[in-house]
Structures are given as structure tokens and as C-alpha cells.
Chains A and B, each alone.
Chain A
């Protein structure tokens, strides 16, 4: 499997595919350039561990370091609340994506919509369809996926990564912001 093959073999997108994020610096630059970035966190972040630690803890570090407000779906929201780091909004992912696709959306704080969203912890097929919806119907929005699987429908995506590589990639990204 190449690093930029869709994780689910048959999920072949078409002519417009995500650029592969091999270097944390690139992701950091994109996030820094964004005016109103958001982090969309799915339930898997509350279920899996990475490098021996719950993924949700990595998410919190990233959110704090990069000043990324979180929209969390279901279980992820509960996990964040349990760690006394409540999300900026708790919305089903479809609801969140539908609002993100609207250039007139006033955002989770009423001050404006987003120009960048990072995704982590969603089931692959759901992330796939949501990213496709945003790719086609939200030209004002960039999408980055930071799971350990390549998502061709995103603007930028981590490649397919082993758990160790994922921890390295995510860790490097977080550390850049924490420096």
C-alpha cells in the first residue's frame, strides 16, 4: 500500500485528490495562515489510544497549542467534558459539516464562519463523505485530516501511517505549536 492510496481500497475519488502532509511544518503553516480554524473531533478519539495515551489527550494538546476551537460529536464531547476541557460546540458531524459548507455561517461564536477545518477520529466512510461534501460545496474552506489514514477527498491529508509514525507526525505538529 502506498502512503497516498485511499485507506479503504475502493474509495477512489477522481481527479481532485488531497495533497499528502508528510511534514508537520506544512500543516503548521496552513493552520497559522488560517483566520478561523476549527478542529472537528469524532467519537473514535474517545475510543482509541496512540502511543499508550488516549487519542483525546493528543487532541486536547493540539487544541490548546494551536488555539483550535473544537467541535466534538457525541462521545468525543463526553470525553472532553470528562477532562474538563469542554468543546466549543457539540454537534453531530453532519450538522457541523453542513454549517461549515455555508459561507454565510456565523460560526460557533457568532463572529464568523471558518476557512479551515481539521478532522480527526471519525469513522472512515463518514469522514470520506463529509470531506467530499466540503470539497465540492465549500470552496471557501480548506480541510486537513490528521488521522493515520490517507483521505483523498480532503485538501490535505496525513498519509497512511503505522501507529508509531502517526504518533511521530501528530507529536511533531503539536510540538511546533507548543514551542
Chain B
């Protein structure tokens, strides 16, 4: 694509014509553009380039703010009381302050992915060279980087090409972050537009990260039959030395796996992982063990199974040094973003580091070279494992009863528990010898450990919960399909039509963290429900693990029950967090490959297409992090709604449509230019659901789009009505808003629906070729 950095320097040059001295000529970049597609209107868009599109969305989906507190505490003017419509010392009001906080969160998320992408690209270039070709699916994937192409207008061909994209992203996130400074942006909707911009660049950052690692590390390449990988604590052979990797940035794990391979020890040492590093390890080496989602950190570390713990970045518990010390597991940290106060041993010899760690002279070490970190982890685990004897800190039966007996029922543990679990009652039972109520808390426990922090008697409450069902923990033996990465172009061609016409009822993506209100089973059951209903189910990250930790009556996991192809009834694990870009990428590719819309720097038109035609919904049931906020924001700008669990209301803002205001739901008919009322589809862009049942009903509803054919709409209504009736015991009250013509009515429900329509005074409307953009109207254009 392009090369940068040509520089010419002439100290002194004399000729008959004259003399040149100290001439310096720099060419910043030479562009080699081999992409024939016409450049669209918004290459490398700045912060306000898509503001008018954002305003269109935000005029339908107005923010509903949910402040955490009454104050702003961000500068030394404060604290400022923003209650009752008061403004702070800088002039900001509560709406702008909340949107500012949302922007901050999205910037943190985007910066984290972009920084991660930078690390991965640098690492992959170091390993394979700048000219290493990007290959995410061989001949099956021609549109290798749909989001990058869409946003930047460049088609990256090599790893080196990704650097220019990263420079753009880094500039944008800096500009966005600066808008949150005191005395900068003051308008809530302009903050929201910037949130959407942060989300968009976050999607690019994730895509860059994943296509780099897929290309350079030999992951499955758009492979619907990616290998099955072991999942759960019970899959670990505890007789062997065990290394645990936690985080998101895979190079240190690759270092471990490569070192074991080079030393012929691959069968002798267990490499285990938690969170997205585990997802990516499994893509690199399917024999590694995925322990579970982020919430498994404390329970696994305290079990003592891991002899050495290696941390990289993101979503890693910041108290793991203390936790590792308790179980005498040396800790190796590998990211400059997460040093934990440990000495930098990057320049020391592996043997020396391992000797110090094994002898306990150091509790841990910072090693910033991933290869060396891998070698040090291997050498250390070989020395440490025989001595440690898997010593954990989970209490045995007697100790547990003793701990429970010390409980005085002050209720502080329950009052600190995010899920309000009835811990005191369970402790009382445990003290009397009945461990069942305590063990029953295991599923809904998110593993935060706040109960222990709150306990005035220093009872290890979390450990007690885990110990009360230790058999279950060690019996966790599941499988998960490894992350496949991108969706093939040929898959898009096959399903693009049925999706756009509504005949595949929707694409539902279960993504995000594990801050679940009632455990991960909710996610698995939702995924299975929609796969049975022949939606295309996509997943990634911790949610993909939760789906794997489920078995049907025959003992099959959802990955065994459903295929991994991007097709009706498939469950598609794309990979780690950064692989989320392939989910948005699939929607974009439908516009580009199936509908043949120009992709290149043509964001607004493609988003308009996706919004009006592609019935996709994201469900981040346990969304916890700022990265999840950024990922959701990226989906919103593309017009894809996101549902979060009840804890998601703590993101402080919903983007809600108003089904009761018909005037909000007009689109242009691109054929005629007429304004047409299309009903509230999709009704919301961002909404927290209270229960799994509500999320399912909402998901079915939010898959409807103005472009649905009558057959497609009838199918979508069938699912919506069926789920609504099953979970709410009644027919949806807003049913009439989604019926445009009699042909939309599901045949099996015809009489009932017609009766309701008559009661509601329903009138038939037309089905337009929908667009929100005036410039897309074809009438009068010849």
C-alpha cells in the first residue's frame, strides 16, 4: 500500500550552476495504491466527519442518562453539585457530564484495543517482517479488512500497511480524549457523537489487531471447522507442572508454547489460560487449556493448581501479585502497562531469573521481551512445580465450617456483592454443616472478591463459596470451538440475501465479559435458543467460553450441537475480544459483497445500509469493561443495537427509541424520495434488560428492519410473538407497530393478529427501499 520515511540529506554540493549546503528533503510517505475502487467521501475521518450521521441516529435514539452520583469530581473546582439542573464551576450540566463520562469510558476502551493492536503489529512484524502478507482466509476472503477499508479508505496488504492505520487511530483517540478535558466540549449530543467516533476507531483497532495475529501466527483462517479445544478446570492434568496465562495479549503465551516445543516439553507441561489470552492461545495451539472467563481468576489461582502465573494486559486482577504469593506461585508480568511494582529483569539471563523466582528471592519479575518471558516461565515452572505440590488456599471442610462459624451475620458481604447473593444465610447453614446453600452461590458469583474485602472478621468468603463446591470446579470439563476469525466471502454471498430480506431472522452476537447477574448459563441458554430458531449466532471472548460451559440433555456442548459456519443455526466463535471486529465486519461485508455497495471510505452509506437492512443485534450480557463500552459504541454507529444485562445500566446511559412517537420512525424511500413511516425498527440502540427472558424478547424484536420482505417480517414476528407469549404470558402490545401489510402476519397466528390489528385501528403502509440519507434518493437523478 505505502511506504514511509524516505529522507535525503545533502551536506554540501557544488556545481557550475551553484552551491547547495545543508539541504534536507523528507518524503513522509509514498503511496502505492492498487485498489481500483473509487475513494469514498470520508477517508481517515476526523472527529466531526460523520457528525451528521450521528445526529440522525441520536435524533431517534435519544440518550437517557443514569448518573452514578450527583457530582462531578474531575477537576479542582469540584466537587460540583449537579443536582436540580445546576451547572458545575466549568459550566457543565448533568447531561453533558454523563456523556463526557461515557466518552471517557469509550476512549479508555478504544485506547486499550489500539495500543494492543500496536503491540501485536510490532510483534508480528518482528516475527515475520513488514512485507508479510495479510491473510485471514486464503482465497475464501478477499475483503480481508472490511472495517479498515470502510473507515480509512486503504486496503492493507501487508503487516507494514497496518502501521499507517494505527497512526491514524492513535491520533483520533488522543483528540477524542482531549475533548473530555475541563472546559472543552459542553454539549451532550456532541459528546455522544464523539462516543460513536471512539467506537468506530475501536472497531478498526480491533480489526488491525486480529488480522495481524491471524496472518502471522497461523491461527484458523475463517475456518468454520476450527478445532475443538479443552475448556474448564477439570481438563488440566494436575500431575504436570502448570503455567497459567491471564490477559489479552498473546505474545508471552506464544513464547511459552514455542519454548516448550523447542525443548520437546509440550506434553510435559500444561499451559492454561483465562480470558482472551486463553482464546488466542487456543487458536495458536489447540492443545492448551482454556480455564474459563475472567471471573475464574481468583478461584483458579487459589486452587493452587498453577505453578507459575504469567500476566499480560487488560482485565487482569490488579491484586494477583498478593494472590500468587499466597499460593507460592511466582508471577511474571510482561506488559509495560502492567508492571505491578516488580523489578525489570528483561535484560537478565533466563536461568538467573528462574533461579531467583524458584528460590523465592523474588515474588515476581517484569520481563518485557515475550520470548524471554516465555522461556523464563518454562524454566521457572520446571524448577518450582515439584516443590510447590499444588498448594492452594481454598479451605478444607473443617476449616470452612470453622470460618463459617466466625460469621456474625453483619450482612456487609451481601451488601458489597454485585449480585446481592444471600451469603450470610448460606454461611449460617455452613456453620451448621450444611454446605449446599453456600455451594449454590457458585454459579451466580462473579468472582470479584468484594465480600472478603467487606468482611470485618476477615473470613475468606469467596474461598468458602468455592470450597463448598470444589467437586464441581474440578469437574468442569467442556469443549469450545477455537476462534475461527473472519467470515468467508462465500458465506456472506450465501446468507447475505436471506439476512437482508429477513428470511434468516437475524444475526445475534453474544459477546463481552462475565459480569453476569445469574451466571454464564444464561448466555449459553440464550445462544442455544436462537441457534435452534435458526438465527446466526456469533460469539467471542468470555461469552464464548460461557456458551461452552453448557451441556444439553445428551451431554453435548453448544459447539457440538450446532455448526461453526456463518449460516442459519450456526454458533460462530470468532475468537478473542479483538476478533469482535469480524462480527461488525460481517455486517459490513453484506453491504459490500452481497449488495455491491462501495466500501472504500464510504462509512455513512454503508452504515445506512446496515441499519436499515441487516437484522443484527449484539448481546453483551455480562459487559463490565470500558472496552465493552467502546465495542458497543462501534456497533451503534453502524446502526446495530446492543442489549446489556442489568449491570450494563451502570454504563450511565441508554440510547432508546420511542415506539409511541410515530413521527420518529420515518425513512426516505430511495426510489421515490417520499417519507415513509416504517415503525420502530430497530426500537433501541442501547438498552439494559432486566432478565434473560426480557433480553430474548428484546433481541427478537430488535432484529426487525425496515427492509424486511413480508416473508421475512412474518418470520421475525413469529419469533417475537412466540418468545413474548412464552416469557410474558401475553401477546405483545406493540405488535401492530410491526405489521406493515397483511402479508406480514404470520400465517399460524393470523386470526389473533387480525383481531389485535382491528382493535388498534391499524392501517396498512408501504414497504420502502429505506434510507435515512437524502443523497441516496434515486428519483430525479436520471
A window 112-141: CB within 8 A of B? 122-126, 129-130, 132-133, 135-137, 139
Given known A74-B693, A126-B688, contact A97–B416 (CB-CB < 8 A): no
**By the criterion CB–CB under 8 Å, are B730 and A8 in contact?**
no
**By the criterion CB–CB under 8 Å, are A12 and B730 in contact?**
no
**By the criterion CB–CB under 8 Å, are A98 and B690 in contact?**
no
B window 402-453: CB within 8 A of A? 410-412, 415-416, 418, 420
What is the distance, in angstroms, from A43's C-beta to the closest C-beta of chain B?
Answer: 5
With A and B bound together, what is the CA distance between A15 and B83 in angstroms? 8
Q: Mark A1-44, 1 if CB is under 8 A from B, else 0.
A: 10000011110111110000000000000000000000000110
Q: Mark B679-720, 1 if CB is under 8 A from A, else 0.
A: 000001001111101100110000000000000000000000
On chain B, the number of residues with a Cβ less than 8 Å from chain A's Cβ atoms is: 49
**By the criterion CB–CB under 8 Å, are A132 and B68 in contact?**
yes
**By the criterion CB–CB under 8 Å, are A9 and B67 in contact?**
no
**By the criterion CB–CB under 8 Å, are B693 and A75 in contact?**
yes
What is the distance, in angstroms, from B641's C-beta to the closest C-beta of chain A?
Answer: 13
**By the criterion CB–CB under 8 Å, are B64 and A97 in contact?**
yes
- The contact of B691 among A74, A90, A95, A130, by CB within 8 Å, is A74
With A and B bound together, what is the CA distance between A130 and B646 in angstroms? 11
Q: Mark B66-102, 1 if CB is under 8 A from A, else 0.
A: 1111110000000001111100000000110000000
Determine, out of B326-334, B626-634, B651-659, B755-763, the stretch whose residues face the partner at the interface: B651-659
Given known A75-B691, A81-B729, A125-B649, contact A92–B67 (CB-CB < 8 A): no
**Which label, helix, strand, loop or mixed, suits the secondary structure of the B interface?**
mixed
With A and B bound together, what is the CA distance between A124 and B411 in angstroms? 15
- The contact of B728 among A90, A125, A132, by CB within 8 Å, is A90
Chain B residues with Cβ below 8 Å from A75 are: 691, 693-694, 727-728
Chain A residues with Cβ below 8 Å from B728 are: 74-75, 77-78, 81, 90
Q: Decide yes or no whether B517 CB sits under 8 A from chain A.
A: yes
In the complex, the number of residue pairs spanning A and B with C-beta atoms less than 8 Å apart equals 134
On chain A, the number of residues with a Cβ less than 8 Å from chain B's Cβ atoms is: 47
With A and B bound together, what is the CA distance between A112 and B461 in angstroms? 50
Q: Decide yes or no whether B1 CB sits under 8 A from chain A.
A: no
**By the criterion CB–CB under 8 Å, are A12 and B69 in contact?**
yes
What is the distance, in angstroms, from B74's C-beta to the closest C-beta of chain A?
Answer: 14
**By the criterion CB–CB under 8 Å, are B418 and A125 in contact?**
yes
Q: Decide yes or no whether A49 CB sits under 8 A from chain B.
A: no
**By the criterion CB–CB under 8 Å, are A14 and B83 in contact?**
yes
B window 598-650: CB within 8 A of A? 646-647, 649-650
Given known A8-B415, A125-B650, A126-B688, contact A136–B729 (CB-CB < 8 A): no
Q: Decide yes or no whether B733 CB sits under 8 A from chain A.
A: yes
**By the criterion CB–CB under 8 Å, are B70 and A8 in contact?**
no
- The contact of A126 among B83, B85, B646, B658, by CB within 8 Å, is B646
Q: Decide yes or no whether B315 CB sits under 8 A from chain A.
A: no
**By the criterion CB–CB under 8 Å, are A129 and B66 in contact?**
yes
Given known A14-B83, A133-B64, contact A94–B730 (CB-CB < 8 A): no
Q: Mark B38-69, 1 if CB is under 8 A from A, else 0.
A: 00000000000000000000000000111111
With A and B bound together, what is the CA distance between A40 and B649 in angstroms? 17
Q: Decide yes or no whether A144 CB sits under 8 A from chain B.
A: no
With A and B bound together, what is the CA distance between A19 and B688 in angstroms? 28
What is the distance, in angstroms, from A127's C-beta to the closest C-beta of chain B?
Answer: 9
Chain B residues with Cβ below 8 Å from A74 are: 690-691, 693-694, 697, 727-728
Given known A123-B646, A125-B418, contact A1–B411 (CB-CB < 8 A): yes
Chain B residues with Cβ below 8 Å from A77 are: 728-730
**By the criterion CB–CB under 8 Å, are A78 and B727 in contact?**
yes
With A and B bound together, what is the CA distance between A132 and B67 in angstroms? 6
Q: Decide yes or no whether A89 CB sits under 8 A from chain B.
A: yes
**By the criterion CB–CB under 8 Å, are B70 and A13 in contact?**
yes
13 additional contacts (CB under 8 A) given A43-B694, A73-B690, A81-B730: A1-B410, A1-B415, A14-B81, A15-B70, A74-B694, A74-B727, A75-B691, A78-B730, A89-B733, A92-B687, A93-B690, A94-B688, A137-B64
What are 20 A-B residue pairs whose CB atoms fall within 8 Å in the complex?
A: A1-B411, A8-B420, A15-B83, A74-B691, A75-B694, A78-B728, A92-B690, A94-B649, A95-B687, A98-B656, A99-B660, A102-B658, A106-B660, A123-B420, A123-B690, A125-B418, A126-B690, A132-B67, A132-B68, A137-B95
Nearest 10 pairs of A and B residues by beta carbon: A14-B70, A78-B729, A129-B66, A81-B729, A74-B694, A129-B649, A133-B66, A98-B64, A16-B83, A126-B646
